Every structure is written in structure tokens, then in C-alpha cells.
């Protein structure tokens, strides 16, 4: 039973355009959501996060949107750059109950930004 | 430099052998985690630790053993390696308060022949 789903295994975007990566979750206890970026042969790097009390968080070119009623979040990258080409993982955690502090990851979306 | 380091980066071993993957962090983070990454599965939690001498199972703990005698170290041991444990293993750490990101090492690529 996959609690965090990234339904697009890959995405190609032209340099300078917007990249939109999507993530859906099923566990209503999740209240903290993160995006990680991963290059080959490196560990995942934390990119941006959002708490369930917000519906948007922005950091430079990266914005995460959270729609709690739809249990959906998305990462927008504007403008996309070739260096953004990587695998992006969505992750979620619940701050209360058993397993708090644990992250549940999606399977990842490979973003390719074409020059 | 402060950070989280994993060793070795690459390891090849045979089925039935014992192998230990090391993880060391310099942030004094309370929480530490071990994940494995496999094609089609993303990252799956093996074990985690909330503090020295406190460990707990994650999603896929079978075949693995962990210990945490010091806050900064969190080794992962495969007591009798199997081919299904061929994977890339990542260690991570985070602060103890909620809503904190985990920070990852660069991984150990383990191949079991």
C-alpha cells in the first residue's frame, strides 16, 4: 500500500520553462511534506518543505503547493535550468503517533531539462 | 567539515557473509536512519534510532541489525548477506524536533554475489 505516490516516472522540460512535479498521498496523518533532489551517485539533498498549516512555500525558483483536501502537493521550478536535471523525491511525515519523524518516500520523478 | 559520511562507498561480498556499513554524523543530531533504494521502490526505511541505545524497526528490517552506542555513529550490519540485499544504502540524520528535514549521506552501493 503506497502512501506517497509520484505517478510520473519522468518529465522533460525545455530550459527556461516551468517544471511541475506532482505527488499524491493517502495518509491523512501526514502533516509535513518535503521534496528532495538526487543526482546520480549522491545522496538525496533536501530542497524545500511545507507544513500542513500552509498551502504554499517558496524558496527562490522553487515553490511547493499543498492541497490538503485533495491530498496533493506539487513542486514548481521556474525557470528550469539544465542543472535541475535530477530525480526528485516527494516525502511525508506525521508529527504524532507511532512512527513520527519517519519519512515515507514516493518512487521519484526523473526531471530532464533540455537546453 | 560537518556532515554525514558513509563508508565504504562501494562493497562487493558473497552470500552468507557478514558485512557492516558505517555511518557517522558530526551534527549531534538525535535521530538517525537507514534506507535502501531499489529500482521501482524509491527509498524504504530499514531501521531508525531516536537516540543512543534506542533503535526501532522501519518498513523492511528483516536480515539487518543496527546499534547506536554513540550518538554520532549508526552502523548497519547484514549478518548473513543474501542477493536480495543488493542495493544502495543511505544513512540520514535529523534534529529531534518535529518538522525537520533529514540530511543524507552519499550512500553505499552494496553488491552481493
pLDDT tens for residues B72-88? 999 999 999 999 999 99
* CA B10 distance to own-chain centroid: 14
| Banded model confidence at residue A6, pLDDT cuts 50, 70, 90 | very high
Distance from CA of B32 to the nearest CA of A (A): 10
Residue among B27, B2, B11, B25 at smallest CA distance from B91: B25
List residues bridging with A89 in a β-sheet: A36
Low-confidence stretches of chain B (pLDDT beneath 70) = 1-2, 97
Residue of chain A nearest B59, judged by CA positions: A104
pLDDT in tens, A19-77: 999 999 999 999 999 999 999 999 999 999 999 999 999 999 999 999 999 999 999 99
List A residues 56-115 in contact with B (Cβ-Cβ < 8 A).
89, 93, 95, 100-108
pLDDT value for A1: 74
pLDDT score, position B3:
92
pLDDT at residue A95, as a whole number: 77
Q: Give pLDDT, residue B39.
A: 86
- Inform me whether the C-beta atom of residue B108 falls under 8 Å from chain A C-beta atoms: no
- The pLDDT tens digits for A74-113 are 999 999 999 999 999 999 998 766 556 789 999 999 999 9
Q: Which of B92, B101, B104 would you mutate first to test chain A, the one with the most A CBs within 10 A?
A: B101
Query: How far away is chain A from the Cα of B19, in angstroms, using its nearest Cα?
Result: 21
CA neighbor of A82 nearest in space, from A36, A8, A14, A11: A14
Comparing CB atoms, the residue among A36, A101, A107 nearest residue B31 is A101
The secondary structure of chain B, three-state, reads CCCEEEECCEEEECCCCCEEEEEEECCCCCEEEEEEEECCCEEEEEEEEEECCEEEECCCCCCEEECCCCCCECCEEECCCCHHHCEEEEEEEECCCCCCCCEECCCEEEEEC
Amino acid at each position: 500500500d503506497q502512501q506517497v505516490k509520484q505517478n510520473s516516472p519522468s518529465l522533460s522540460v525545455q530550459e527556461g520553462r516551468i517544471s511541475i512535479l506532482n505527488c499524491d498521498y493517502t495518509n491523512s496523518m501526514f502533516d509535513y511534506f518535503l521534496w528532495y533532489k538526487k543526482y546520480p551517485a549522491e545522496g538525496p539533498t533536501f530542497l524545500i518543505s511545507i507544513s500542513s498549516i500552509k498551502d504554499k512555500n517558496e524558496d527562490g525558483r522553487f515553490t511547493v503547493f499543498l492541497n490538503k483536501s485533495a491530498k496533493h502537493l506539487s513542486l514548481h521550478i521556474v525557470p528550469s535550468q539544465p542543472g535541475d536535471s535530477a530525480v526528485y523525491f516527494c516525502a511525508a511525515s506525521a508529527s504524532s503517533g507511532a512512527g513520527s519523524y519517519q519519512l515515507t518516500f514516493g518512487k521519484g520523478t526523473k526531471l530532464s531539462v533540455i537546453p | 567539515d560537518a556532515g554525514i559520511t558513509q563508508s565504504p562507498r562501494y562493497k562487493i561480498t558473497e552470500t552468507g557473509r557478514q558485512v557492516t556499513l558505517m555511518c557517522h554524523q558530526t551534527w549531534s543530531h538525535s535521530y538517525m536512519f537507514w534506507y535502501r533504494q531499489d529500482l521501482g521502490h524509491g527509498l524504504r526505511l530499514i531501521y531508525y534510532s531516536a537516540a543512543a541505545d534506542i533503535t526501532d524497526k522501519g518498513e523492511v528490517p528483516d536480515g539487518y541489525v543496527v546499534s547506536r552506542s554513540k550518538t554520532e555513529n549508526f552502523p548497519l550490519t547484514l549478518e548473513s548477506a543474501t542477493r536480495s540485499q543488493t542495493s544502495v544504502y543511505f544513512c540520514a540524520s535529523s534534529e529531534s524536533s518535529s518538522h525537520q528535514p533529514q540530511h543524507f549521506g552519499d550512500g553505499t552501493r552494496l553488491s552481493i554475489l
